[in-house]
Amino acid sequence: MNLAESETFLRQQIHIDGHWFDADTRETIDVTNPATGEVIGTVPNAGAAETRRAIEAAHRTFQSFSRTTAEERAAKLRILHGLLVEHQEALARLLTLEQGKPLREARGEIAMSAKYILWFSEEARRQYGDIIESPWPNRQLQVIHAPVGVVAAITPWNFPSSMLARKIGPALAAGCTLVIKPATQTPYSALAWAILCERAGFPAGAVNILTGSATAIGGELTGNGLVRKVTFTGSTGVGKQLLAQCAASVKRVSMELGGNAPFIVFDDANLDRAVEGAIASKFRNSGQTCVCTNRIYVQSGIHDAFLDKLSAAVAELKIGQGLDEEVDFGPLIDAKAVASTEAFVQDAVAKGGRLVAGGKGLGGNFFAPTIIGNATSDMLFAKDEIFGPVAPIFTFETEDESLALANDTEYGLACYVYTSSLGRAHRAAQSLEYGIVGINDGLITTEVAPFGGFKQSGVGREGSKYGMQDYLETKYVSFGAL
Ligand code: ADP
């Protein structure tokens, strides 16, 4: 295994105003490989003081960066896109090393990061204002857009590169500067962005990255008046906490929170397609994505056939260390994730669930891909997000029943429907209270479409033309006495 090139992107310091630093206290945090438990390296355990300096640097740089032309920012983003493509392999290996996902998925994630950056390099030049017909003579009313200001970005460990691409891309395209706090489990893929952005020609202070105490850094990011916007991807619980903290200074917020995705398979569905979609949407990243299928509802007529095919497909998944090219199912992120997955299985089995596949830990952070039959609405996963490789199978009789069950949740991020009836597909797409609906489609993420949730799954959209709006203020200018 050649990690030499990856090591050029492995920085064990925080990045403020174009320079690399240790924590003020010199304290560090270990970063481990979830597949082996080995320590890969350390990162600084920074806190509020370092965060304040990073915010001040971002604020200083904003004064000039926000006045650059969209063309100039677009050109730098295109260079950044080129660097991601050029170093895809090294960045993917670094990602797998700290996150655990199979290399194929890690390569896909870096490619996706590159696509987001390219998309926003294009969007940077496609921002338009309005001239509004004036209700008074001798006046002209304009609507123009202004970058929101210093953006704080807090990101999770499940997509340590692409969750940042979705925030760095539109922020820099709009003329904002950033202070970033990645998840402690996966800091290196984030710190690599500082190297890449610097090489792309973004000025010192445009992209600052801190590692360390989530509460100390998060407290400063949400409390500091120079920060104008907080963009967060993570759990609904932490998202609510951050929303409350942001309320004091009325910061703009974008929240990509948890999900509890239903996956509905109707009697008239193409079963092979449905199984393929279920595997992709359930077991990608070992079930650790916010759009992962959480509840599979199968119409009674095809229940047994679907379950047989799904079990056969699960048996084919090759489990192992992500750096092994053959592997398609890696470890969970840490021991806590294993314990939490186990708890969902035990709860279901205690309530009458039937273990069809897996159901147990495989040593270390590995947990077998699991199918549970006879799932019922009193089981924990009917309500809570699993974030692990457990596929519960519920049955239903009618279309109305399935749609009501699917909507019976506080969440509203992604949902999936498999049917060959056009009318049914339309009715489902209309009535499902979700930000993303996959009809006969289990892999729905793309930079060109809006990603985000209804209800407690979040606020705002990432990617697409809508993804820029969250980073721009709308300013109305009235020219009088013309
Ligand atoms: P997950 O369940 O995916 O780990 P979390 O919501 O716990 O999601 O974490 C997502 C990100 O939020 C991580 O970067 C984490 O360090 C950060 N985080 C966790 N708690 C807080 C907090 N109180 N304030 C700010 N950031 C936090």
**Residue 104's domain is classified under what CATH number?**
3.40.605.10
Please give the Cα distance from 456 to 116 (Å, whole number): 25
Mean pLDDT in residue range 448-473: 97
In-domain check, residue 448: no
3-state secondary structure of 98: helix
* DSSP string for residues in 237-303: HHHHHHHHHHHTTT-EEEEE----EEEEE-TTS-HHHHHHHHHHHHHGGGG-STTSEEEEEEEGGGH
- Atom index in ligand 1 nearest the CA of residue 183 equals 14
In this prediction, residues 370-377 reach a mean pLDDT of 98
Ligand 1, atom 22: closest residue by C-alpha: 215
The token pair at 379 is 């089981």
Per-position b or e across 89-112, b if 16+ CB within 10 A of its CB: ebbbbbbbbbbbbbbebbbbbbeb
Best mutation site among 157, 220, 238 for ligand 1, i.e. most ligand atoms within 8 A of its Cβ?
A: 238
Domain that holds residue 190: 3-257+457-476
Same domain, 66 and 120: yes
The residues annotated as belonging to the active site are 256
Q: How confident is the model at residue 139 (pLDDT cuts 50, 70, 90)?
A: very high
The finding on whether 183 has its CB within 6 A of some atom of ligand 1 is yes
Are residues 419 and 279 part of one domain?
yes
Tell me, in angstroms, the distance from the centre of ligand 1 to residue 2's CA. 32
Q: Token match 């392999």: residue?
A: 89
Determine the Cα–Cα distance for residues 432 and 406; give it in Å rounded to an integer: 7
249 lies in the same domain as 346: no
When pLDDT is averaged across residues 102-108 and rounded to a whole number, the result is 97
Which contacts qualify for 358-361: CB closer than 8 Å, 24 or more apart? Answer: 358/314, 358/389, 358/390
Token pair in block for residue 288: 């650790």
In a domain, 447, yes or no: no
Same structural domain, 219 and 292: no
245 Cβ closer than 6 Å to some ligand 1 atom: no
Q: What is the pLDDT of residue 1?
A: 42
Residues 41 and 171 in one domain: yes
Answer yes or no: pTM beyond 0.90: yes
* 299 & 244 share domain: no
Residue 482 is assigned to a structural domain of this protein: no
Residue 444 within any structural domain of the chain: no
Complex-level ipTM: 0.94
Is 446 domain-assigned?
Answer: no
Q: Are residues 83 and 113 in the same domain?
A: yes
Asked whether residue 83 falls in the same domain as residue 232, the answer is yes
Domain shared by 111 and 46, yes or no: yes
Averaged pLDDT for residues 96-103: 97
- Phi–psi pair at 450, nearest 5 degrees: -75, 130
CB 185 within 8 Å of CB 67 = no
Give the number of domains in the chain: 2
Q: What is the mean pLDDT of the chain?
A: 97
Contact 257, 234 (CB under 8 A): yes
Within a domain: residue 288?
A: yes
Domain assignment present for 187: yes
Judge if 7 and 104 occupy the same domain.
yes
Q: In this structure, are 244 and 267 located in the same domain?
A: no
Looking at the fold, whether 180 and 33 belong to one and the same domain comes out as yes
Written as six digits, the tokens of 405 are: 């069950």
